């Protein structure tokens, strides 16, 4: 299919009528970009000026002019010396390059760096720098009228390259009313497809479900919602950083590595505000490497993510930048859900519970397809520079209260949860319904997605922080029907580490604790009995505490086998026991009673009850200890498939602190001593 014969579909035709002069064929962007390594918004700035038409002749002529302009003016790094020589020869030359500015305190003046051209000391007027502050932080792409004067001297040296005029590459001011009126001519689903085509994706591809389309939009929320904190972790190659690197001139992508308070917030010496004050979105790529050199950096970042302001010196400085964290997550997500948490890619500094709790949405990057050429659209979309100008304007509005028209949020959501959900719904509404025309069903759809993303944050906090974050069963109530709907997190699934169905004789599940940091984990205890003379063999490499528990249990069993009433002499059987670590922690303790039940189960050849977890530790004489952190153990067991929990009677009082929704899903069985525990676990009482 050639540039001139591309077939327009109905959405192309409709878009061209609704937004004359504001649309561009996205395949032209891909074709042109292959020869010029500039951001998409730079290309579309030019294509939007000369190719914004459905007339193939206009497109062809415009595309030719854009290519000529880029050929003449765009500075490729490998042609930098040629452009320098050309500027010297002609005395002046117009270039397209990224321009950064630094302050030379010794010379008391600014110098401009023309990045691709390789010029670090171009002369630039103070007035220009003050007009475009972003020159000082990260730089901007611009059309630059450059002159060459070999006689110009400054700061004791010849500075021949002089920036005479600089024009940032971005759309002139836009009319919001026109945008809203044009949007009203599209259905919701049509407009969703328009937005995806605008960022270069083809929504009609069969791999893109409605859910995937909406997740693409969640990536865009930081563009329209101020102070929005987004985390996306997923495989490489899914386009996590594309929006912030290529699409918007109002976003900056910070590569992984060390950063400073001065760079991000404010330099105390100069008083210059950092990235969060100059950009709408500050996105961190490769978040595993993000670390602050300053000890107070994480604390300032936490305060900013919470309040949208930061303290430096004596002043509280407000800023509106949204914070985005992108990173790669390795391994099987389902396995990580079962054995650990989904925040492992974060650096040690960032695995701070208070910081994580300020994230409004955790986008499941593992659901996003890896980028393929087939996913790129050949159709029309809005010129991204025009779209991002509109999105920037939408940051001034809010639909945070839209939920209240139809729904009430469930009891498990705290203040931060509510704020996060409201901001997500507001962002989706601004993208899809900027005119405020939306239905209850549409809000319901966005609300469910918002609850899921925030719950994913809380699920990881619960795994890392325990009881403090137990309330994760997010729900909403329809104010008309009063029906409550609970929202799940897809990767949690319905299964767990505890295999459904009756276990084999000798197999018992327990919740033990790591001997190093106290972290809880699911263990599967396995015991086998064979004819012998009462020996105990411990398989594997359990911790010292666990080996001691096995020996204590075995000694008690031999001394009290007669009380089991089976007529079997425990001293006539050898027992082999093993603790299978299901959650990747150091071998833990507090599994004595479970080990006793496993040994009895193996000795009698009778399986324990289905989906049973046994809690409790025992002494050499059969004394049973109160279970510590009972609520956390119940929650962990329930999340991993437990249906029944066996606990000592002494721990009954601790159940008053357990959430009712946990207790409702578990059958609690009490025992008074280890033998009583074995009878009840095996269904013999």
pLDDT exceeds 60 at position 495? no
Buried-exposed string 204-216: b where 16+ CB fall within 10 A, e elsewhere: eeeebeeebbbbb
Confidence class of residue 562 from pLDDT cuts 50, 70 and 90?
confident
- What CA–CA distance (Å, rounded) separates 93 from 85? 10
- What CA–CA distance (Å, rounded) separates 520 from 636? 8
For 268-312, write each residue's pLDDT tens digit.
Answer: 777 788 899 989 999 999 888 888 888 788 999 999 999 999 987
Specify the pLDDT at position 515: 65
Supply the mean pLDDT for the chain.
89
Q: Report the half-sphere exposure of 67 (CA within 13 A, side-chain side).
A: 14
- What CA–CA distance (Å, rounded) separates 498 from 455? 23
C-beta of residue 638 within 8 angstroms of C-beta of residue 667: no
User: DSSP character for 629?
Assistant: T
For 147-162, write each residue's pLDDT tens digit.
Answer: 999 999 988 899 999 9
pLDDT exceeds 60 at position 1? no
- What CA–CA distance (Å, rounded) separates 301 from 555? 55
The stretch 182-209 carries a mean pLDDT of: 96
For 584-613, write each residue's pLDDT tens digit.
Answer: 665 667 899 999 999 999 999 999 999 999
Specify the pLDDT at position 249: 87
**At 195, which helix (H) or strand (E)?**
helix 188-198
- What CA–CA distance (Å, rounded) separates 135 from 102? 8
For every residue of 263-289, which 3-state class applies, written as one string? HHCECCCCCCECHHHHCCEEEECCHHH
Q: How far is CA 585 from CA 16, 332, 373, 461, 540, in A?
A: 59, 17, 42, 17, 15
Q: Which residues pair with 134 in a beta bridge?
A: none
Q: Angle, nearest 10°, between helix axes 10-18 and 188-198?
A: 80
Report percent pLDDT > 70 for the chain. Answer: 95
- What CA–CA distance (Å, rounded) separates 203 from 376? 9
Q: Which residues pair with 161 in a beta bridge?
A: 148
Confidence class of residue 123 from pLDDT cuts 50, 70 and 90?
very high
Lowest model confidence (mean pLDDT) among 356-365, 574-583, 669-678: 574-583
- What CA–CA distance (Å, rounded) separates 221 from 251? 12
The stretch 556-560 carries a mean pLDDT of: 91
Please provide the CATH number assigned to the domain covering 174-382.
3.40.50.300
Lowest model confidence (mean pLDDT) among 154-163, 210-219, 435-444: 154-163
- What CA–CA distance (Å, rounded) separates 345 from 480? 43
| Structure-block tokens of residue 352 | 């701070």
Specify the pLDDT at position 517: 66
Write down the number of H helices and E strands in the chain.
23, 29
Residue 649: CB atoms within 10 Å: 13
Give all strands (DSSP E) within 88-160, no chain letters: 92-104, 109-114, 119-123, 140-148, 153-154, 157-158
Query: In terms of C-beta distances under 8 Å and separation of at least 24 residues, what long-range contacts does 171-174 make, across chains too?
Result: 171/45, 171/48, 171/383, 171/385, 171/386, 171/388, 171/389, 173/389, 174/386, 174/389, 174/390, 174/393
| Structure-block tokens of residue 302 | 């936490």
Report percent pLDDT > 90 for the chain. Answer: 58
Confidence class of residue 6 from pLDDT cuts 50, 70 and 90?
low
Backbone angles phi, psi at 567, to 5 degrees: 80, 0
Backbone angles phi, psi at 431, to 5 degrees: -70, -45
More confident call, 55 vs 180 = 180
For 76-92, write each residue's pLDDT tens digit.
Answer: 888 899 999 999 999 99
Helix (H, G, I), strand (E, B) or coil at 542: coil
Confidence class of residue 467 from pLDDT cuts 50, 70 and 90?
low
Specify the pLDDT at position 586: 57
Specify the pLDDT at position 393: 93
More confident call, 411 vs 4 = 411
More confident call, 583 vs 206 = 206
Of 526, 520, 523, nearest to 538 (Cα)? 526
pLDDT exceeds 70 at position 379? yes
pLDDT exceeds 90 at position 508? yes
Specify the pLDDT at position 2: 42
Q: How far is CA 244 from CA 223, 285, 432, in A?
A: 9, 10, 20
The pTM of the full predicted model, rounded to 2 decimals, is 0.74
For 225-280, write each residue's pLDDT tens digit.
Answer: 999 999 999 999 999 999 999 898 899 999 877 788 888 998 777 778 889 998 99
As its CATH architecture, domain 507-681 has: 2-Layer Sandwich (3.30)
Residue found under tokens 């003379």 = 533
Specify the pLDDT at position 136: 87
pLDDT exceeds 50 at position 571? yes
Residue found under tokens 């008391």 = 108
C-beta of residue 654 within 8 angstroms of C-beta of residue 630: yes
pLDDT exceeds 60 at position 5? no
Q: For the chain, what is the largest distance between any 2 Cα atoms, rounded to a whole number of angstroms?
A: 109
Sheet containing 484-486: which strands, arranged edge to edge?
407-409, 475-478, 484-486
Of 162, 165, 166, 147, nearest to 88 (Cα)? 147
Q: Is 115 exposed, middle or buried (0-12, 13-18, 19+ CB in 10 A)?
A: middle
Helix ranges restricted to H, 199-315: 210-224, 242, 261-264, 275-278, 297-307
- What CA–CA distance (Å, rounded) separates 590 from 593? 8
């Amino acid at each position: 299919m050639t540039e001139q014969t591309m077939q327009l579909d109905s959405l192309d035709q409709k878009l061209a009528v609704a937004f004359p002069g504001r649309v561009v064929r996205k395949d032209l962007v891909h074709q042109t970009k292959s020869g010029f390594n500039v951001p998409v918004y730079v290309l579309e700035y030019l294509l939007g000026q000369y190719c914004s038409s459905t007339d193939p002749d206009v497109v062809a002529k415009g595309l030719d002019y854009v290519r000529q302009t880029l050929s003449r003016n765009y500075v490729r790094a490998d042609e930098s010396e040629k452009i320098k020589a050309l500027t010297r020869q002609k005395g002046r030359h117009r270039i397209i390059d990224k321009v950064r500015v630094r302050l030379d305190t010794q010379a008391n003046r600014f110098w401009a760096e023309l990045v691709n051209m390789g010029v670090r000391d171009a002369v630039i007027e103070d007035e220009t720098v003050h007009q475009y502050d972003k020159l000082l932080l990260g730089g901007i792409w611009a059309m630059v009228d450059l002159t060459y004067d070999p006689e110009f001297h400054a700061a004791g040296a010849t500075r021949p390259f002089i920036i005479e005029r600089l024009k940032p590459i971005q759309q002139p001011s836009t009319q919001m009313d026109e945008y809203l009126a044009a949007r009203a001519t599209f259905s919701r689903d049509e407009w969703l497809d328009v937005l995806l085509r605008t960022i270069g994706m083809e929504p009609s591809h069969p791999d893109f479900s409605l859910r995937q389309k909406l997740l693409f939009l969640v990536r865009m929320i930081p563009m329209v919602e101020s102070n929005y904190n987004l985390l996306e972790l997923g495989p490489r190659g899914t386009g996590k950083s594309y929006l912030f690197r290529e699409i918007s001139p109002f976003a900056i992508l910070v590569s992984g590595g060390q950063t400073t308070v001065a760079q991000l917030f404010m330099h105390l010496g100069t008083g210059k505000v950092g990235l969060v004050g100059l950009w709408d979105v500050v996105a961190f790529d490769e978040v595993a490497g993000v670390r602050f050199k300053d000890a107070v950096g994480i604390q300032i970042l936490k305060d900013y993510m919470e309040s949208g302001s930061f303290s430096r010196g004596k002043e509280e400085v407000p800023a509106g930048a949204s914070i985005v964290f992108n990173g790669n997550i390795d391994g099987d997500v389902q396995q990580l859900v079962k054995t650990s948490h989904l925040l492992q890619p974060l650096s040690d500094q960032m695995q701070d519970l208070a910081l994580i709790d300020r994230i409004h949405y955790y986008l499941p990057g593992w659901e996003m397809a890896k980028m393929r050429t087939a996913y790129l659209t050949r159709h029309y979309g809005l010129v991204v520079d025009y779209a991002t100008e509109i999105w920037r304007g939408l940051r001034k509005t809010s639909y945070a209260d839209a939920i209240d028209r139809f729904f009430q949020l469930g009891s498990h959501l705290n203040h931060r949860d509510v704020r996060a959900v409201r901001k997500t719904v507001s962002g989706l509404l601004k993208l899809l319904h900027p005119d405020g025309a939306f239905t209850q069903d549409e809000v319901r759809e966005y609300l469910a997605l918002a609850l899921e993303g925030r719950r994913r944050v809380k699920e990881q906090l619960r795994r890392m922080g325990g009881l403090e974050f137990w309330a994760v069963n997010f729900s909403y109530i329809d104010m008309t029907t009063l029906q409550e709907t609970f929202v799940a997190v897809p990767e949690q699934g319905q299964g767990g580490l505890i295999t459904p169905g009756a276990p084999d004789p000798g197999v018992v599940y327990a919740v033990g604790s790591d001997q190093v940091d106290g972290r809880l984990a699911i263990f599967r205890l396995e015991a086998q009995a064979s004819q012998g003379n009462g020996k105990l063999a411990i398989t594997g490499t359990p911790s010292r505490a666990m080996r001691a528990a096995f020996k204590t249990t075995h000694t008690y069993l031999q001394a009290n086998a007669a009380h089991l009433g089976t007529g079997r002499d425990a001293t006539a059987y050898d027992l082999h026991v093993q603790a299978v670590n299901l959650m990747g922690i150091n071998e833990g303790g507090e599994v004595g009673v479970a080990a006793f039940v496993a040994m009895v189960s193996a000795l009698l050849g009778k399986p324990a009850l289905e989906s049973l977890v046994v809690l409790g530790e025992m002494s050499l004489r059969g004394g049973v200890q109160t279970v510590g952190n009972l609520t956390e153990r119940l929650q962990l067991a329930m999340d991993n498939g437990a249906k029944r929990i066996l606990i000592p009677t002494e721990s009954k009082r601790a159940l008053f602190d357990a959430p009712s929704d946990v207790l409702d899903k578990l059958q609690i069985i009490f025992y008074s001593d280890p033998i009583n525990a074995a009878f009840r676990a095996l269904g013999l009482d």
